[in-house]
Amino acid sequence: MRYWLIDCYTPHLKIVKLGLKTKASMLFNNVIVLSLNGVSQMNNLKQLRHYLLLPMLLFCQTASADFSFWNLRKGVTEISREVYDLHMLIFYICCVIGVIVFGAMIVSMILHRKSLGVKPATFHESTKLEVAWTIIPIVILIGMAVPATSTLRDMYEPGEPDLDVEVRGYQWKWQYTYLNDDPAKEIQFISALRTPQDEIQNRAGKGEHYLLDVDNPLVVPINKRIRFLITSNDVIHSFWVPDFAVKKDAIPGFVHESWAIVEEPGVYRGQCAELCGKDHGFMPIVVHAMEQEDYDNWVLEKQEEAAKVFEIVGKSWSTDELIEKGEEVYARNCVACHQTNGQGIPPAFPSLVGQGIPVGPIAEHIDILLYGRAGTAMQAFGQQLNAAEIAAVVTYTRNAWGNNMQDSVQPKEINVMMASQ
């Protein structure tokens, strides 16, 4: 329990550092950095101090707009800034109306009380007033609708994309495909949560990007129009990157599009925004925006990696190598349902220990991994993992938790089966 309390200061400290950019709050921030350092070696009593500090922290971080604890992010696209301005405009208008209405109520509550001996007035209608407070709101609403319409038009503005990325939602991860007319040059990978189960289950301290970290981020070049073609493989998900002001539902059977031109290099984090089942809270989106040159290098690297996988798949693996690799693959892809101890959460997610597929014929085991099982949550991992990973995880689960089947399968064999796909 105590671990996270220590760890969770990291983002706070970071914010404070961002805040330092603004001179006005510099002194203030230094004080807080010092106090926080004190707190981080805290005992339970000192936690309290932190919460007393909280309002101050919030106060000074409003000075730096990069990141916020309590407001929208301005983001890094022209659209996201327009949305931010629109949001603030509507918010201020609401504040003004609020001050007037609540002000009138408060004045009335102070002045017009029976205890002051006030005699009630007798008026109970006034056509003029009633017309006025019908017309004035309409005018205000038109004032809001005009900028809102123009921002929305900008969002729908068509344009020739520089990069097409197909975003496909799975329960509970994302798949990105960089479309290319040359199939050999297409990059495709799965992006899943990297936060270990130990952190989620409070067995280890929580890292800086707790729940917002993935194994393979989506990498995009800056200042290029990127078109996201969004779809889903199973249920409805929603692709949301707050810094781009992009949120679009991923709907099975349909493809929807959205776009962004990222202006600053950086790492931008979002999450799935539509309830999609058990691990809806555990499928973050991480976008790494970089200079064109860096992006080109990354693409080359990815393509080389693909070639290397080919090599890896081709070589002969020892059983130990397969089990070691398999444990890693299992931890990343299988634990969410089948659990670290293989016991699963029956009946939806069956146990793998001493029963069922892992202790049955190996061909069926490979089959269910490659093609999944219809009508259940078991996915077709042939679409998500490479041959080496499939071979490794099959071998691992057949020999873990006392299953002890003593058999294994080589990536090469899997590859033959997959090649027919």
Partner 1 sequence: MLEAQGKTRGVVKLTAIVVGMFAFGFMLVPLYDIVCEVTGFNGKTAGAYELSGKETVDESRLVTVQFLTNRNANMPWSFRPAIRSVKVIPGELNEANFFVRNETESTMVGKAIPSVTPFKAADFLHKTECFCFESQKLEKGEELNMPLRFIVDREIPKDVDRLTLSYTLYDITSSTQLAVR
Partner 2 sequence: MNAVVEEHHDDHHDHGPAKGITRWLYTTNHKDIGTLYLWFSFAMFFVGGICALGIRAELFQPGLQIVQPELFNQLTTMHGLIMVFGAVMPAFVGLANWLVPMMIGAPDMALPRMNNYSFWILPFAFGMLISTFFMEGGAPNYGWTFYAPLSTEYAPPSVTFFIFAVHLMGISSIMGSINVIVTILNMRAPGMTLMQMPLFVWTWLITAYLLIAVMPVLAGVVTMMLMDIHFGTAFFSAAGGGDPVLFQHVFWFFGHPEVYIMILPAFGVVSAIIPTFARKKLFGYDSMVYATASIAFLSFIVWAHHMFTVGIPLAGELYFMYATMVIAVPTGVKVFNWVATMWQGSMTFETPMLFAIAFVILFTIGGFSGLMLSIVPADFQYHDTYFVVAHFHYVLVPGSIFSIMAAVYYWLPKWTGNMYDETLGKTHFWLSFIGVNVTFFPQHFIGLAGMPRRIPDYALQFADWNMISSCGAFLFGFSQLLFLFIILKCIRGGQKATERVWDGAKGLEWTIPSPAPYHTFSTPPKDMAEAHG
Sign of the torsion formed by the C-alpha atoms of 174, 175, 178 and 179: negative
Distance CA 302, CA 296 (A): 10
Site for partner 2 in 240-299 (CB under 8 A): 240, 242, 245-249, 251-254, 256, 269-282
What residues does 268 pair with on adjacent strands?
287
What one-letter code names the amino acid at 340?
A: T
Side-chain-side CA neighbours of 38 within 13 Å: the count stands at 13
Q: Which of 29, 39, 64, 73 binds partner 2 (CB under 8 A)?
A: 73
Residue 396, C-beta contacts closer than 8 angstroms, at least 6 positions apart: 322, 323, 325, 326, 327, 329, 330
In the complex with partner 1, the residue whose CB is nearer, 58 or 378, is 378
> Is 59 near partner 2 (CB under 8 A)?
no
> Is 158 near partner 1 (CB under 8 A)?
yes
160 binds, among partner 2, partner 1, none (CB under 5 to 8 A by kind): partner 1
Instruction: Enter the tokens of residue 289.
Output: 């925006």
- Residue 270 Cα to chain centre, angstroms: 3
Q: Which of 8, 179, 273, 362 binds partner 1 (CB under 8 A)?
A: 179
What is the closest distance, in whole angstroms, from the C-beta atom of residue 1 to partner 2 in the complex? Answer: 8
Q: Which of 146, 155, 300, 416 binds partner 2 (CB under 8 A)?
A: 155
> Is 383 near partner 1 (CB under 8 A)?
yes
> Is 48 near partner 2 (CB under 8 A)?
no
In the complex with partner 1, the residue whose CB is nearer, 85 or 154, is 154
Instruction: Enter the tokens of residue 141.
Output: 């609403």
Site for partner 1 in 117-136 (CB under 8 A): none
> Is 161 near partner 1 (CB under 8 A)?
yes
Instruction: Enter the tokens of residue 218.
Output: 């989506």
Distance CA 208, CA 346 (A): 33
- β-strands 187-191, 173-178: how paired? antiparallel
Distance CA 125, CA 255 (A): 54
What is the closest distance, in whole angstroms, from the C-beta atom of residue 236 to partner 1 in the complex? Answer: 13
- Per the CB < 8 A criterion, the answer to whether 263 and 155 are in contact is no
> Is 234 near partner 1 (CB under 8 A)?
yes
Q: Which of 62, 197, 233, 403 binds partner 1 (CB under 8 A)?
A: 233
Q: Which of 180, 223, 355, 404 binds partner 1 (CB under 8 A)?
A: 180
Note the residues at the interface with partner 1 (CB under 8 A).
158, 160-161, 164, 166, 168, 179-181, 183, 186, 229, 231, 233-234, 252-257, 370-374, 376, 378-380, 382-383, 420-421
